[in-house]
Structure 1
Amino acid sequence: MSNPPETGPKIGVEKAEVTDKQLRKALNVFDIAYLVIGAVIGSGWLFGSFYAAAKAGPAAIISWLLGGIFLMFIAFSFAELGGMIPKSGSIVRYPQYSHGSLTSFILAWAYFLSAITVPPAEAEAVVTYMSSYVHGLLTPTGVLTLEGGLVAFAFLTFFFLLNYFGVHVMGKTNTAVGWWKLIIPILTVALLLGLFLHPANFTAVPGGFVPYGWAPVFMALPTTGIVFAYLGFRQGIEYGGEAKNPQRDLPLGTVIGFLICMAIYILLQVSFIGAIDWSKLSLKPGDWTDLTSTVLSSGPFYEIMKISGIPILMAFGIVLLIDAIVSPSGTGWIYTGTSARTFYGMAADGHLPDWFLKLNRWRVPMWSTIAAWLVGALFLIPYPAWVYIITFISSTTVLTYVVVGSTLVVLRKTAPEAPRPFKLPVPYVFGALAFIFAYLIPYWSGFTTMWGVTALVLAGLPLFFMYTSVNRFGVRRSNAAILGVIYWIVLALSTIFLIYYDIIVPYNAASAAGTALPFSIKYVIPFVAYVIIMLAMTVAFIYIIRMWSNEEGKQHINAGWWVLGLIFTTLILDFFGPFSVWTSPPLPFPYDTITAAIIALILFFWSVRSGIPTKDLEIVLKEMGVIKEERK
């Protein structure tokens, strides 16, 4: 069922090595650090503290600290890889080097889904803050109106144009704006702590420091913008092929930028908690959940300063209205470039057509940048509010970060001779912790998010069948197309009728009444049926593709089975754990999180054992001059 491998085209990585050399090398260590700062300090600082406080109360401070520590292990692992193999679009290319095409496709597809949605999220954040002084942009429930959607699209177009005309223009613009994005949050913290601090809010109000228990402290990570904010650390790595001295600047700029942002976000949360004046919000002290029904929802820090009655704070509130456009916009144009480099990286891996590698006259990936702009705009339709989109982004993005801990260890074995200017000690420890934390965060996002994430990630598999396996592994296109169409039909029907109608619709009705679902076999049966159908079909269809593939395809598929374990175990744990739809979950906190950590550790060792020395890695190392001849 396969064609001779020599009839296939030159693999994507060989073509990408040509265009990689043509990318403009314009970014220094400060540009890299400010790419991180510019991406991290965006709409997250404007809204994250507000939603985190509503979810966990004063304990949201712990949420920001934990989120920073968790992401730090992931960021440091990426820093080593970025210094070792600096590539634009690198985050979707590293799995290709360590585990081959099946792993890289699934994770690149998931990363694509998340990266492409950040610019519209930032555009929505701008419009939401603008609604404080421009009426008609939002409905009373905080959703974009038609006019608001058009304004958001205009910002997306601006992000696109800034990227299209060169990484040098975007990088230097971002560095200049980065100073503003540093100074304004720092001044906000200083003014609120110095002039409008209510110390009783931390421990003396009803409920104390942890008013809703510890489960919301962890659930706040992916659902309130905390992880969403921190995810910007990867932006310097994504532009690796456009750095002047990438081996030094990528890891150094990434680490510096991340640590600065982590400190700022923790202080912002402290200042926000301390600045709540319950009497001026007409709330009972300690009623953190109902913060979302107050005036703060349209512009948290601005409204706090406005209602304070203190002239200095009220005047500074005007500056925040300006920053509400500058900060999200800065993050938006960075992520537009990231989305473009995701398309570029997928083409380099052989998962998209070669024309996504084409550069324009300013040496920017032309069609990739155009696609990032237009596809991103489409996400304004199903996710017309900031808080709706950030949970989806956080969950899908961190799900793809799971592989970095494994790739770190695998490349230590398959490319020991590669240069590592930034080299982590005890790689198995760093790799395992990065893997576990990246697994836990999407798990904590909850079943009502993960069922949709799972369906969308699985929906990408037919594209692997119909494009990658055909062009790289010699599978006949007609056979792959038949499998792909069948897969899409079964996935759609089972997701709609076994998950959405049988579980999500009843839960939404119960949630609207202020409750949840009782744990019942009535809901368990359709979920179990869904898992059995989708897992069996996914394994069977991938195995069929493996049988039809050439020898390289068989190796790549063998190295990627563990990713299915990642996807399905996360969904199953979410269904039975406390972040699901139950009034009394069968797997309560913290036993669920302990179980998830153990499963993640097992998956880590499985993934490390699955790593292979791919042809893609060999080509890259030869181009770098690390190896002189083909390995036997």
Structure 2
Amino acid sequence: MSTTLNSAAAPHDRTGRELHRSVGLFGLMFIALGSIIGSGWLLGALGAAQSAGPASLLSWILAAMLLIVLALIHAELGAAYPVAGGTARFPYFAFGTLAGFTAGWAAYLQAVTIAPIEVEASISYLASTGWAKKHLHLLHGNGTLTAVGVLVASAAMLLFTIVNLMGAKLLAASNNVLVIWKLAVPILAIVVIMSLSFHASNFHAGGGFMPYGVHGVFAALPAGVVFSLQGFEQAVQMAGEARNPRRDISRAIISAMFIGAAVYILLEVAFIGGLAPKNLVHGWANPIGAGDFGPYYTLALAAGAGWLATILLIDAVISPCDTGLIYLGTSARLSYALGEEEVLSDKLTQTNRRGVPTYSILLAFVIGEITFLPFPSWSSLVGLVTGATAIMYAFAPVSLAALQARDPDRPRPYRLPMPKVLNPVGFVAANLIIYWGGFEATWKLLTAIFVGRVLFEITLRRAKDVRRADIDWRAASWIWPWLIGITIIGLIGRYGKGAHHALPNWIDLLVVAAFSLVIFYYAVSLAMGSEQIKAAVDSEERQMAELADLNLPA
């Protein structure tokens, strides 16, 4: 089945075209799974081990538990409210346009940056091999891209842009093939490394199982662990192009999250066990050698599996590039959603004849090109992207709790178990991830969100035909106390550059949890009234119903 749209029928249609509903269950699941399995599997295990030693296994398990709760919350939201750029629209339904813009801006900041990060990861991985060092000069000594590196990176971004402009169906189809490869290669690496070279003694070497204490376990989370596991929400962002979103979105999110978490945990086991014991005598600072950014490639060579090393180099191009391909497309859907709500330019909602948002995709390409210039390495932006993702995730449990209370009669094909427990737990989880990311990352994100707020005000003042009577300032009044408060806790906390370490271990986590719960219940109490929510949701529901009625056979 494919969707052919009669342009005159679609509400909110400024351009004569809307998004095409052409993506099925496996397409959605593979989009989410393809987002989860990217550069993180190539580089995340090394960063986690350097931060926590063998206890990095606990970091992966903890991150998986926190993100699975958030994934379940998104599963209910995505199935009940299947719209494009859902992470920006759910807060809009519950708290009005200002809240929707803030969540959408945080989501856009992380999504639009991931495509260039994935490209840099691929280039960094390849640049550490002997062949690339001899024949190519992709990176400077400080990790920034050379002119050749920028050219290669730009070519990759251009390819992502062309594929996305060809339509969501092609994006999903090309991604399906790539995800099968992306899933097969790490599983192959796990099996081969654990079969040929596995040292159980490594799990208590270099200072014991937990050489850096519990602080190391938490510090590993923003050092690539949470970044690696994020991405399940990409199925939500594509909901506007799903054939049967109410049935498929929750299944896609939950399946992708559990598969991704299992693969990453096993990869960390294989990495730790596959290391040469002599490399751990002096600790975990350089378990595979200083300056080596291809951990599994190195382990494969050491185990005598040169053929696997070759496959890993090929995958170092495919895995990050596929994730970049997805995120360029989904960041375009976020800017489309912000344009749809009239908080950014209407140009961002214009679609081509294939039903994809042309200007939104081109904007993502331009920002990606800019991102290549000032940032030196994959790891330099991972902490910031993780924090932005956690802010985006934090809006979901608050929105779901408010919508469950104010819009209780809506059909919910999937229901979050124990919502009165898991909704506040999800908000606490997101705030803990922000806190563990460190004060430096948090204040920079606060600044970036403030810049977005300035852009919002400028757009609001310049708009001539404003349909935004739904800007409920009171409903969104909890957002800045929350963001400023979590930044202050980071300042007096124990993580990141600039933190004052005024809070003792564990007490800091209790402070974050208590603060989060106060904000959670306060925010839910401020949600818009049932009539306002119903009006916003009904408008979207009418559009979805008309699109569903216009499905024609391919």
TM-score between the two structures when normalised by the length of structure 1:
0.80
1:194-273 matches, cutoff 5 A: 194-203=195-204, 205-222=205-222, 224-273=223-272
The residue aligned with 1:81 is 77
The residue aligned with 1:331 is 323
- Opposite residue 106 of structure 1, the aligned amino acid is T
Q: How far apart, in 1, do the equivalents of 2:339 and 2:288 lie?
A: 42
User: How many residues of Structure 1 are paired with residues of Structure 2 in the alignment?
Assistant: 528
Q: Deviation per CA, 1:340-397, whole angstroms, max 9, x where unpaired?
A: 0011011122211212111111111111111111112111112231111111111111
Q: 1:214 deviation in Å?
A: 0.5
Q: How far apart, in 2, do the equivalents of 1:375 and 1:226 lie?
A: 25
Q: How far apart, in 1, do the equivalents of 2:213 and 2:500 lie?
A: 15
Instruction: Classify 1:625/1:235 alpha carbon distance in 2 versus 1 (closer, same or farther; 3 Å).
Output: closer
- Opposite residue 263 of structure 1, the aligned amino acid is A
Q: How far apart, in 2, do the equivalents of 1:112 and 1:439 lie?
A: 19
Q: 1:278 deviation in Å?
A: 4.3
Q: 1:32 deviation in Å?
A: 0.9
> Does structure 1 conserve the Cα–Cα contact (< 8 Å) formed by 2:80 and 2:413?
yes
Q: 1:163 deviation in Å?
A: 0.6
- Opposite residue 249 of structure 1, the aligned amino acid is D
Q: How far apart, in 2, do the equivalents of 1:581 and 1:95 lie?
A: 31
The residue aligned with 1:562 is 478
- Opposite residue 436 of structure 2, the aligned amino acid is W
Q: Deviation per CA, 1:221-264, whole angstroms, max 9, x where unpaired?
A: 12x21111111111111100111111111110111111001000
- Opposite residue 325 of structure 1, the aligned amino acid is V
1:167 aligns with 2:168: yes
* Aligned counterpart in structure 2 of residue 129 of structure 1, from 125, 128, 132: 125
- Opposite residue 171 of structure 1, the aligned amino acid is A
Instruction: Classify 1:74/1:191 alpha carbon distance in 2 versus 1 (closer, same or farther; 3 Å).
Output: same
Instruction: Classify 1:124/1:558 alpha carbon distance in 2 versus 1 (closer, same or farther; 3 Å).
Output: same
1:616 aligns with 2:532: no
Q: 1:621 deviation in Å?
A: 3.9
The residue aligned with 1:539 is none
Q: Deviation per CA, 1:13-60, whole angstroms, max 9, x where unpaired?
A: x95477798322211111111111111111000000011101111111
TM-score between the two structures when normalised by the length of structure 2:
0.91
Q: 1:143 deviation in Å?
A: 2.9
- Range with greater deviation from structure 2 (364-373 or 130-139): 130-139
> Does structure 2 conserve the Cα–Cα contact (< 8 Å) formed by 1:473 and 1:552?
no
- Range with greater deviation from structure 2 (105-114 or 439-448): 105-114
> Does structure 2 conserve the Cα–Cα contact (< 8 Å) formed by 1:17 and 1:620?
no
The residue aligned with 2:551 is none
- Opposite residue 96 of structure 2, the aligned amino acid is G
Instruction: Classify 1:90/1:581 alpha carbon distance in 2 versus 1 (closer, same or farther; 3 Å).
Output: closer
- Opposite residue 262 of structure 2, the aligned amino acid is A
> Does structure 2 conserve the Cα–Cα contact (< 8 Å) formed by 1:201 and 1:286?
no
The residue aligned with 1:318 is 310
- Opposite residue 404 of structure 1, the aligned amino acid is A
1:389 aligns with 2:381: yes
Q: 1:304 deviation in Å?
A: 1.7
- Opposite residue 591 of structure 1, the aligned amino acid is I
- Opposite residue 330 of structure 1, the aligned amino acid is D
- Opposite residue 264 of structure 1, the aligned amino acid is V
Q: 1:425 deviation in Å?
A: 2.6
Q: How far apart, in 2, do the equivalents of 1:353 and 1:142 lie?
A: 36
> Does structure 1 conserve the Cα–Cα contact (< 8 Å) formed by 2:491 and 2:500?
no
* Aligned counterpart in structure 2 of residue 300 of structure 1, from 273, 295, 307: 295
Q: Which has the larger radius of gyration?
A: 1
Q: How far apart, in 2, do the equivalents of 1:590 and 1:111 lie?
A: 29
Taking only aligned residues, the RMSD between alpha carbons, in angstroms, comes to 2.2
Q: How far apart, in 1, do the equivalents of 2:245 and 2:501 lie?
A: 48
Q: How far apart, in 2, do the equivalents of 1:193 and 1:331 lie?
A: 26
Instruction: Classify 1:286/1:437 alpha carbon distance in 2 versus 1 (closer, same or farther; 3 Å).
Output: farther
Q: 1:289 deviation in Å?
A: 1.9
Q: How far apart, in 1, do the equivalents of 2:182 and 2:83 lie?
A: 27
- Opposite residue 330 of structure 2, the aligned amino acid is T
Q: How far apart, in 2, do the equivalents of 1:598 and 1:338 lie?
A: 34
2:208 match: secondary structure = coil
Q: Deviation per CA, 1:437-493, whole angstroms, max 9, x where unpaired?
A: 111101110012112111111111111211136549979xxxxxxxxxxxxxxxxxx
- Opposite residue 210 of structure 1, the aligned amino acid is M
* Aligned counterpart in structure 1 of residue 370 of structure 2, from 374, 378, 387: 378
1:523-602 matches, cutoff 5 A: 552-553=470-471, 556-581=472-497, 585-602=501-518
Q: How far apart, in 2, do the equivalents of 1:174 and 1:377 lie?
A: 22
Q: How far apart, in 2, do the equivalents of 1:45 and 1:464 lie?
A: 37
> Does structure 1 conserve the Cα–Cα contact (< 8 Å) formed by 2:199 and 2:277?
no
Gaps of 5+ in 1: 1-13, 476-549, 627-632
Q: How far apart, in 2, do the equivalents of 1:333 and 1:20 lie?
A: 26
Q: 1:428 deviation in Å?
A: 2.0
Q: 1:417 deviation in Å?
A: 2.1
Instruction: Classify 1:90/1:108 alpha carbon distance in 2 versus 1 (closer, same or farther; 3 Å).
Output: same
* Aligned counterpart in structure 2 of residue 400 of structure 1, from 392, 405, 417: 392
1:47-126 matches, cutoff 5 A: 47-126=43-122
Q: How far apart, in 1, do the equivalents of 2:393 and 2:464 lie?
A: 25
Instruction: Classify 1:251/1:474 alpha carbon distance in 2 versus 1 (closer, same or farther; 3 Å).
Output: closer
> Does structure 2 conserve the Cα–Cα contact (< 8 Å) formed by 1:20 and 1:87?
no
The residue aligned with 2:139 is 138
- Opposite residue 158 of structure 1, the aligned amino acid is L
Q: How far apart, in 2, do the equivalents of 1:33 and 1:139 lie?
A: 38
